[in-house]
Structure 1
Amino acid sequence: MKALQGVEGRLEWLQQPTLACDVGEIRIKVAAAGLNRADLLQRAGLYPPPPGASETLGLECAGVVSEVGAGCDWQVGDRVCALLAGGGMADEVVVDGRHALPVPDGMSLQEAAALPEVYATAWLNLFQLAALKPGEKVLLHAGASGVGSAAIQLCKAFGNPCWVSVGSAERLAHCEALGAQGGVLRSEDLQALRDFGPFDVILDPVGGQYVGLNLELLARDGRWVNIGLMGGRTAELDLALVLGKRIQLIGSTLRNRDELFKAELLQALRQHVWPLFTEGRLSAQLQGSFAAKDAEQAFEVLASNQVNGKLVLVIDPSLV
């Protein structure tokens, strides 16, 4: 099969052996795969896959089930999207059947490829780890990103007013159209977020340079979930504020979680989140798609930090 890998900082489509489909697994003929910042980091050699995971890029995909291992409830021909530790940007992928979800009614495979990673990340960190309660206020840094766009919609759906920090007025308008109450431009005055706070939960993919700001903006008993290090990995932490406000600092990753954890997370998504797509309360927020031959261009666009929502790579145009 053909698979996309990062080789010395560049992208190459390589021929890889076909994997066996074992007990509890399904084989998916991939229609499209979502792009994530993790793919940029892996291409650059900065984020290797977990032990045992595929070296092929792609943490999510959508397609059609072509083979079903014993013990799976899926059927050949089912339209699914899947959360992966790697391997989505390939002609086919073999995945634990519990890590796949049905494509929501009325949604294309192209759109569905943009769902699993960002909605799993947003749900896990806001509603499971931070235990967000209805009415609590949320701050989303990088609010126009794929995760941010998903998080805004989830906050609106579950009764949580949210605000964002973003890179441009156009991206702020995107967030407000999705349901954010407002926000600030990071290039102007992040301190203006004080006008909207304090916040009960902050979802932060930036880290380093936002540490002091987050501590200041959090309410008493606030939860700060750090999911990335775009702003650096080190910072000085005022522990007096942590103690005085009883702040919980939660470090969170998803890719290296074990199979059972991911299965339970996907089951929660299927129960609590997936019905909202059918009801029209959530959407994929797909900004654009690229043909497989244009993978380098797709990665360049993602790296520009100008994407509102998600990009996908179309692997098999006959399926989408």
Structure 2
Amino acid sequence: MNLQVMKPPLSIRLCGPRGFCAGVDRAIQIVVLALKAYGAPVYVRHEIVHNRYVVEGLEAKGAVFVEELDEIPAEHRSQPVVFSAHGVPKSVPEDAVARNLFYLDATCPLVSKVHKQAMRHQRLGRHVVLIGHAGHPEVIGTMGQLPLGTVSLVETVDDVDRYAPVDPDNLGYVTQTTLSVDDTAGVIARLQQRFPNLTAPAADSICYATTNRQEAVKQAAPGCDLFIIVGAPNSSNSKRLVEVALRAGAKRSLLVQRADELDWADIGPIGTLGLSAGASAPEVIVDEIIAAFKARFDARIELAITAEETENFLVNRELRSVPLTHEDMEWVNGVRSVPAQPEKSIL
């Protein structure tokens, strides 16, 4: 007689919003549309977004990822090159023009807004203080909008304490869009304490998607035995979500790229799982993680929603009339963040 093995119960607190933001969605569409309009190969400088699933899917369609423009073969210089959603220094489009390359800029409009805020500070004679992570592509792009010597990077309160500007009464700050809201507030507070005449940007630099995803995780984390964030190890906003979950009360938090990375022996017995995804992580992987837990647990999904996102950013003018086939739309929609159907809502 076959006896059915009883699965242990598990509540999955599935955060919303999660996954793709409007800027990431736009960047992916730009590459897909460029491939339809101009044919393969379409070159992309740097990963279009920080997610291997997306990058490999676009490679299969004919995208070629390069780190620098000199990697594009001479015989393919009539093909378009796309700049990633993170933004690039001014020197990159200048180099593209010098090489007679046709480029499409997929920089997130909210990153472009930070560029404009930084340039406005500098134009008004202020030295720019950029709060961000050294070496991150967005930080490199933002610093590259300004003349050498007109911007300083700080990351932590300790960095602020060590900072010694030439003119402490003439500073303006901006931030990377994907930072921890709480950490950044502390850095800004210390800057304002040390430099009372510090000028803030005209609007918040941390983007709505980063803020919304952190708030959802913050609300869902208390009481979670484990909180999984779907995202890449080089994704700033995904790594911040791991930190937010721990600070908000989750006993453990992990950053996971795919379900096959899950170490079930290490996970052990759990009763409540938190689950969210960084802004560059596709919903198909969230579904994959849920399926993996449902195979081992009697899992019930509780949807933890803290905001509704309706933002939509238009693609480049050159691409707006390009039709997508049903197959293309299926692929694009397959990686987008789609609201899950919950068994119940907890928020």
Specify if TM > 0.5: no
> Quick check: which has more Rg, 1 or 2?
2
TM-score of the pair, normalised by structure 2: 0.27
Query: Highest relative contact order (Cα 8 Å, sep 6+), 1 or 2?
Result: 2
TM-score of the pair, normalised by structure 1: 0.29
